[in-house]
Chains A and B, each alone.
Chain A
Amino acid sequence: MVPDRAFNEFVLKFANVNGSGSASANLLCAKALFRMGLPVSPKNIFPSNIQGLPTWYEIRVSEAGHLARRAGIDVMVAMNPQTYARDVAEIVPGGTLIYDSTLRRDFGREDIRQIGIPIAGLCADAWSDLRERQIFKNIVYIGALSWLIEIDIDIIEQLIAEQFKSKPKLVEPNFKALRIGYDYAHAYIDGRLSVRARKSNGTAGKIMISGNEAAALGAIYGGATVAAWYPITPSTTLTESFERHAGRLRRDNNGMLRAAVIQAEDELSAAGIAVGANWNGARAFTATSGPGISLMSEFIGLAYFAEVPLVLFDIQRGGPSTGMPTRTQQSDILACAYASHGDTRHVLLIPGDPGECFTFSADAFDLADRLQAPVFVMSDLDIGMNDWVVDELKWDDNRRFDRGKVLDAAKLEAVSEFARYRDVDGDGVPWRTLPGIHPGKGAYFTRGTSHTDTGKYTEDGVVHAAMLDRINAKFETAKSLVPKPVTRILSSKSRLGIINYGSTDLAVREAISLMGREALGVNHLRLRAFPFSDEVADFIGRHDFLFVVEQNRDAQMRHLLIAEAGIAAEKLVPVTNYDGFPLTAQFLVDAIRSAIHRDTRIADASAPPLTAASMGQPR
């Protein structure tokens, strides 16, 4: 049951028809709550469709800072008769249903509050244009919510004014719609809702930003000049955002662009363009999702073997095949870690929120140059396309790009013999040159065929094997360069741990805090990169059992830990979720309870040891 007058802890959900203009109204609501100082986490749960299919938008408000997705809806704004049944079923007992009562109906639930607002009728009275009648329905329900849960209407008006700064004619009709909803609720609805918003200071120093935009900004700040891409959900907004920001931040004195964005004919070409540009000394990237990674695999192998820097953003979605293109998953881990035929192994950076999308994006360009290798930034749809509340982005103005080992003309002069693929420093990373740099020295031939350390074609097996070993040595070097895991030792005596990565972190943290109330002591490690730095094996070594939480069926990261960190399989307990929705804490708590009930050795590893009786039952 929702307690009476629960301030600043609730989930609000909108059920709409795709293409009805609801997305911007729902974002307006989330942004208004954020401006009131409330941590919010909006989740857009949308179909692969332009018009007509059901779409949802959830906003969790949590002053306590629990911003993972949470099932159990406190307030449902049901605007789509196609999905009434399932939407109404999601409302918690004591929760509220708001619906368009222009056509009245009975939803058959006595345990919820049902509020009918004749939204279509109000709009029909206020506007004659059919399009306006449709579009302003969304603002009318925001107006009603403003009264019902006390979202500051001045803030909403302020946001509308900002949104339509360049189209001032649209401000007044939006204000009008907002007031229609607000006034109706105020006049005809008997009392506000049991959950409400109240101004707070939970968002000082915070911004609301999507991971894709943050990653695009990271690419701007990291010095990327060439972006090549092919449209694919959910990565599209990353490159579009890069193009938009570059248009503003990357102009020279003549107004010409210090960046090039190419929408290629397919992902193969996008990868080829990024490889060609990096080969020629520009920082270049491509952004894609799983199907694009499959298509890019041949180029990824070329970049690996010919040692061309390459930054790839994989905004993961539901696979396999076309899968669920508008749902989130972490199911490309193995595909990217070992992308392409032959012996390959790649660096993965795994941001946990948009803040890390920004920093890891900029870092990826340094790493790719430093290692002369492909570097993947493994985001996902949840981080990439949803707006998250994170710390303001910061940049150290003293930071300089690390272009790695590049011999310019002067350095070439000083070198007695240039050998493109020779490890002269013992870290596996050779020196490279850029085309056109020196009239007599430094030219070499880049090829995907087997080559000697001066880049010459060879079919000598000994030379080939030595080359593969030397390239692999770079991977060892990468261990100390990639972001270290984030560890939290919550109980120094506990032999039980949780390992996760990426967008699942909010749910894991919330689950740990929920389980803490049941005296289940677990420690926590969030992976942030592959290869695994030494801290990962150290952490695992201090525990008997570790739950590996991930959003794919086959426990892909668990495989990687077993294969690449030499961890005994029985220590790693898979906790997998692959329904395409952002993870909830409750799912984790249930999964962990189930595991403990299955195997008492796991309970014994907790500090203090648990008995099955002391642990709650899984739902």
Chain B
Amino acid sequence: MTHIVKPAFHHPALPVNACGLTHRDYEGVVSTLCAGCGHDSVSAAIIEACFELDIEAHRVAKISGIGCSSKTTNYFLDRSHGFNSVHGRMPSVATGANLANNDLVYIGVSGDGDTASIGLGQFCHVIRRRLNMVYLVENNGTYGLTKGQSSATNDKSAKNRKGVENRYEAIDLAALAIELGAGFVARSFSGDKAQLVPLMKAAIRYRGFALIDVISPCVTFNNHAASTKSYDYVREHNAALDTVDFVPPEVAITVAYDAGSTTEVTLHDGSALRLHKLADDYDPTDRAAVLPKLQRHKAAGEVATGLLYLEADETDLHGLIGTCAAPLNSLADQDLCPGNAALGQINASHS
């Protein structure tokens, strides 16, 4: 049995959000990933974020490519349409979907093989297009479904479970995204719900391209002592640049934090991102400073997590190409077909 629907029964006292939905209404079918897979924690964070943000569950489109990560779009938000497309091509499908209807939340789920190898070109270009979407990379440095080959995000010299050393340089997707002009770039760890959920909420509310590179260990093929994408390694080497609170506009009234250690960034919809700085003076809006910072952490063998970069300009693809406010898929015949009279003028200009 490969498609396991959860029983409809649930506890009658489950809390309900502003949409009248329970947490359960944001879940999907039972995951078929390995027990302990980091990806299931990411799905749980998506469920949590959508529930807490009171997003109507059917107003989300879930789009993915191919791989273990891409399968997860089936394991959350059963009330949303999902599209498990072809390997490495989620960004193009998401682009088309978003062009058709600018009024849904687009969550793209991909993996390190799907994004950093076969889909690297699409990843780069969807960033350049500033597509309004949340792009999640469930990054475990390995090919899971084909049983443990190294991926392009695996650190150089890291060993796979057979002890074979990776000879090639790793691609840092977060650094690449910043270089290419992504407006919202974060990195997190699937085992760190406290960091991941607020980042997820902020990414959903951000209008523009939002990347979260989630280190999500593969329990079967890449969770051993020699891997830099194992639970143990990431827990030990996690250098959190800040902790993040996301505050929707309707509750952004009281401030309980020490102003001295908090930066607040307001998003286009009035919601606020509060960053509590734990590390040195880290300013995620200073693009020039971000990349050297990431390099320093990398050199120290650390995984810098948190909101790495945030751009105030929230112009998305629709803004760049000047499409109308109404979703293109909502336009009626008379909005689209110019009619025979207009054809008369076209004929005249060709005679």
Chain A residues engaging chain B, CB cutoff 8 angstroms: 35, 203, 206-209, 217, 220-223, 225-226, 228, 245, 249-250, 252, 254, 256-262, 264-266, 268-282, 284, 298-299, 302, 392-397, 400-401, 433-440, 443-449, 452, 456-459
In the assembled complex, the Cα of A449 lies from the Cα of B65 at a distance in Å of 12
Q: Which of A249, A274, A280, A438 has the most CB of B within 10 A?
A: A280
User: Which one of A259, A271, A443 lies within 8 Å of B80 (CB-CB)?
Assistant: A443
Instruction: Determine whether the beta carbon of A445 is less than 8 Å from that of B96.
Output: no
Instruction: Determine whether the beta carbon of A208 is less than 8 Å from that of B351.
Output: yes
Residues of A within 8 A of B60 (CB): 436
CB within 8 Å of A: which of B310-351?
A: 318, 321-326, 328-329, 331, 333, 335-340, 342-343, 346-347, 350-351
* Chain A CB within 8 A of B149 CB: no
Residues of A within 8 A of B336 (CB): 220, 223, 225, 250, 258, 401
Q: Given A217-B346, A446-B82 in contact, is the A269-B337 Cβ separation under 8 Å?
A: no
Q: Given A279-B83, A394-B340 in contact, is the A259-B350 Cβ separation under 8 Å?
A: no
Q: Given A257-B324, A445-B74 in contact, is the A282-B329 Cβ separation under 8 Å?
A: yes
User: Which one of A222, A269, A277 lies within 8 Å of B99 (CB-CB)?
Assistant: A277
Instruction: Determine whether the beta carbon of A279 is less than 8 Å from that of B93.
Output: yes
CB within 8 Å of A: which of B82-122?
A: 82-86, 89, 91-101, 103-104, 121-122
In the assembled complex, the Cα of A436 lies from the Cα of B129 at a distance in Å of 23
* Chain A CB within 8 A of B307 CB: no
What are 5 residue pairs bridging A and B, where the CB atoms are less than 8 Å apart in the complex? A250-B338, A269-B91, A270-B92, A435-B97, A446-B85
Q: Which residue of A lies closest to B342 (CB)?
A: A249
Per-residue CB contact flags for chain B residues 197-233 toward chain A (1 = under 8 Å, else 0) read: 0000000000000000000000000000000000000
In the assembled complex, the Cα of A458 lies from the Cα of B129 at a distance in Å of 36
Instruction: Determine whether the beta carbon of B331 is less than 8 Å from that of A260.
Output: no
Closest chain B CB from A440 CB (angstroms): 7
Instruction: Determine whether the beta carbon of A226 is less than 8 Å from that of B328.
Output: yes
Instruction: Determine whether the beta carbon of A299 is less than 8 Å from that of B333.
Output: no
Instruction: Determine whether the beta carbon of A281 is less than 8 Å from that of B100.
Output: yes
Residues of A within 8 A of B351 (CB): 35, 203, 206-208, 392
Residues of B within 8 A of A269 (CB): 89, 91-92, 95, 121-122, 125
Closest chain B CB from A575 CB (angstroms): 33
User: Which one of B79, B326, B346 lies within 8 Å of A393 (CB-CB)?
Assistant: B346
6 closest A-B pairs by CB? A276-B96, A272-B92, A282-B100, A281-B329, A277-B96, A435-B81
Q: Which of B92, B95, B325 has the most CB of A within 10 A?
A: B92
In the assembled complex, the Cα of A282 lies from the Cα of B328 at a distance in Å of 6
In the assembled complex, the Cα of A436 lies from the Cα of B104 at a distance in Å of 7
Closest chain A CB from B329 CB (angstroms): 4
Q: Which residue of A lies closest to B28 (CB)?
A: A445
Closest chain B CB from A392 CB (angstroms): 4
Q: Which residue of A lies closest to B335 (CB)?
A: A258
Q: Which residue of B lies closest to A280 (CB)?
A: B100
* Chain A CB within 8 A of B56 CB: yes
Instruction: Determine whether the beta carbon of B324 is less than 8 Å from that of A252.
Output: yes
Instruction: Determine whether the beta carbon of A275 is less than 8 Å from that of B85.
Output: yes
Q: Which of A273, A392, A393, A437 has the most CB of B within 10 A?
A: A273
Q: Given A269-B92, A436-B61 in contact, is the A257-B100 Cβ separation under 8 Å?
A: no
Residues of B within 8 A of A209 (CB): 350
Residues of A within 8 A of B96 (CB): 226, 228, 272-280, 282, 284
Instruction: Determine whether the beta carbon of A226 is less than 8 Å from that of B100.
Output: yes
Instruction: Determine whether the beta carbon of A273 is less than 8 Å from that of B99.
Output: yes
* Chain A CB within 8 A of B78 CB: yes
In the assembled complex, the Cα of A274 lies from the Cα of B93 at a distance in Å of 8
Q: Given A280-B100, A435-B97, A438-B58 in contact, is the A273-B92 Cβ separation under 8 Å?
A: yes
User: Which one of A252, A280, A434 lies within 8 Å of B326 (CB-CB)?
Assistant: A252
Residues of B within 8 A of A252 (CB): 324-326, 335
User: Which one of B80, B333, B343, B350 lies within 8 Å of A401 (CB-CB)?
Assistant: B333
Q: Which residue of B lies closest to A260 (CB)?
A: B99
Closest chain A CB from B121 CB (angstroms): 5
Q: Given A276-B97, A280-B97, A440-B79 in contact, is the A395-B92 Cβ separation under 8 Å?
A: no
Task: With A269-B92, A434-B81 given, name 9 new contacts (CB 8 A).
Answer: A257-B322, A258-B335, A264-B125, A268-B92, A269-B121, A275-B93, A275-B96, A401-B333, A444-B82
Residues of A within 8 A of B323 (CB): 256-260
* Chain A CB within 8 A of B2 CB: yes
Residues of B within 8 A of A438 (CB): 58
Instruction: Determine whether the beta carbon of A302 is less than 8 Å from that of B101.
Output: no
* Chain A CB within 8 A of B10 CB: no
Instruction: Determine whether the beta carbon of A225 is less than 8 Å from that of B331.
Output: yes
In the assembled complex, the Cα of A18 lies from the Cα of B81 at a distance in Å of 52
* Chain A CB within 8 A of B63 CB: yes
Residues of A within 8 A of B325 (CB): 252, 254, 256
In the assembled complex, the Cα of A396 lies from the Cα of B2 at a distance in Å of 50
Residues of A within 8 A of B122 (CB): 265, 268-269, 272
Closest chain B CB from A430 CB (angstroms): 15
Residues of A within 8 A of B97 (CB): 276-277, 279-280, 435
User: Which one of B29, B101, B324, B331 lies within 8 Å of A280 (CB-CB)?
Assistant: B101
Q: Given A393-B347, A436-B81 in contact, is the A276-B58 Cβ separation under 8 Å?
A: no
Q: Which of B56, B86, B93, B121 has the most CB of A within 10 A?
A: B93
Instruction: Determine whether the beta carbon of B125 is less than 8 Å from that of A256.
Output: no
User: Which one of B56, B78, B80, B338 lies within 8 Å of A221 (CB-CB)?
Assistant: B338
Instruction: Determine whether the beta carbon of B324 is less than 8 Å from that of A446.
Output: no
Instruction: Determine whether the beta carbon of A439 is less than 8 Å from that of B57.
Output: yes
Instruction: Determine whether the beta carbon of A443 is less than 8 Å from that of B79.
Output: yes
Instruction: Determine whether the beta carbon of A397 is less than 8 Å from that of B339.
Output: yes
Instruction: Determine whether the beta carbon of B100 is less than 8 Å from that of A262.
Output: no
Per-residue CB contact flags for chain B residues 273-301 toward chain A (1 = under 8 Å, else 0) read: 00000000000000000000000000000
* Chain A CB within 8 A of B59 CB: yes
Closest chain B CB from A475 CB (angstroms): 22
In the assembled complex, the Cα of A272 lies from the Cα of B100 at a distance in Å of 13
Q: Which residue of A lies closest to B84 (CB)?
A: A447
Instruction: Determine whether the beta carbon of A258 is less than 8 Å from that of B324.
Output: yes
Residues of A within 8 A of B78 (CB): 443
Instruction: Determine whether the beta carbon of A220 is less than 8 Å from that of B338.
Output: yes
Closest chain A CB from B3 CB (angstroms): 4
Residues of B within 8 A of A249 (CB): 338, 342
Instruction: Determine whether the beta carbon of A459 is less than 8 Å from that of B331.
Output: no
Q: Which of B3, B78, B80 has the most CB of A within 10 A?
A: B3
In the assembled complex, the Cα of A185 lies from the Cα of B104 at a distance in Å of 68
Residues of A within 8 A of B347 (CB): 207, 392-393
Closest chain A CB from B347 CB (angstroms): 4
Q: Which residue of A lies closest to B125 (CB)?
A: A265
User: Which one of A223, A228, A282, A457 lies within 8 Å of B2 (CB-CB)?
Assistant: A457
Q: Which residue of B lies closest to A387 (CB)?
A: B350
Instruction: Determine whether the beta carbon of A276 is less than 8 Å from that of B63.
Output: yes
Residues of B within 8 A of A258 (CB): 323-324, 328, 331, 335-336
Closest chain A CB from B28 CB (angstroms): 9
Instruction: Determine whether the beta carbon of B74 is less than 8 Å from that of A435.
Output: no
Residues of A within 8 A of B100 (CB): 225-226, 276-282, 284
Residues of B within 8 A of A208 (CB): 350-351
Closest chain A CB from B171 CB (angstroms): 17
Instruction: Determine whether the beta carbon of B84 is less than 8 Å from that of A445.
Output: yes
Residues of B within 8 A of A260 (CB): 99, 318, 321, 323, 328
Q: Given A276-B94, A280-B61, A302-B86 in contact, is the A262-B81 Cβ separation under 8 Å?
A: no
Closest chain B CB from A97 CB (angstroms): 32
Q: Which residue of B lies closest to A395 (CB)?
A: B340
In the assembled complex, the Cα of A257 lies from the Cα of B327 at a distance in Å of 11
Residues of A within 8 A of B84 (CB): 445-449
Q: Which residue of B lies closest to A396 (CB)?
A: B340
